[in-house]
Amino acid sequence: MVGENAVRYPHLLAEVRKRGHRVGNHTYNHLGGFQSFDRQYISNAQKAEEILKTGKLFRPPHGWMSPLQYRRMLRDSWNIVMWDVLTRDYNHTVSAAWVFANVRKYTRPGSIITFHDSLKSIGKLRIILPDTITWLKNQGYEFKVL
**Main-chain dihedrals φ then ψ at residue 86, nearest 5 degrees:** -100, 115
**Nearer Cβ to Zn ion (1/103):** 1
Report which DSSP code applies to 25: B
From 115, 108, 94, select the one nearest 140 (Cα to Cα).
108
CB of 118 to Zn ion, least distance (A): 8
CB of 94 to Zn ion, least distance (A): 17
Q: Which of 130-138's residues contact partners 24+ apart within 8 Å by CB, and which partners?
A: 131/100, 132/100, 132/103, 135/100, 135/103, 135/104, 136/103, 136/107
Q: How many CB atoms lie within 10 A of CB 87?
A: 24
**Nearer Cβ to Zn ion (32/130):** 32
Considering the rule CB under 5 A, would residue 91 count as an interface residue with Zn ion?
no
**Nearer Cβ to Zn ion (64/106):** 64
CB of 114 to Zn ion, least distance (A): 8
Residue nearest Zn ion, CB atom distance: 61
CB of 105 to Zn ion, least distance (A): 22
Considering the rule CB under 5 A, would residue 55 count as an interface residue with Zn ion?
no
Considering the rule CB under 5 A, would residue 61 count as an interface residue with Zn ion?
yes
**Nearer Cβ to Zn ion (60/100):** 60
**Up-side HSE of residue 69: CA atoms within 13 Å toward CB?**
26
Report which DSSP code applies to 22: P
**Nearer Cβ to Zn ion (63/134):** 63
Would you tell me which residues interact with Zn ion (CB under 5 A)?
A: 61
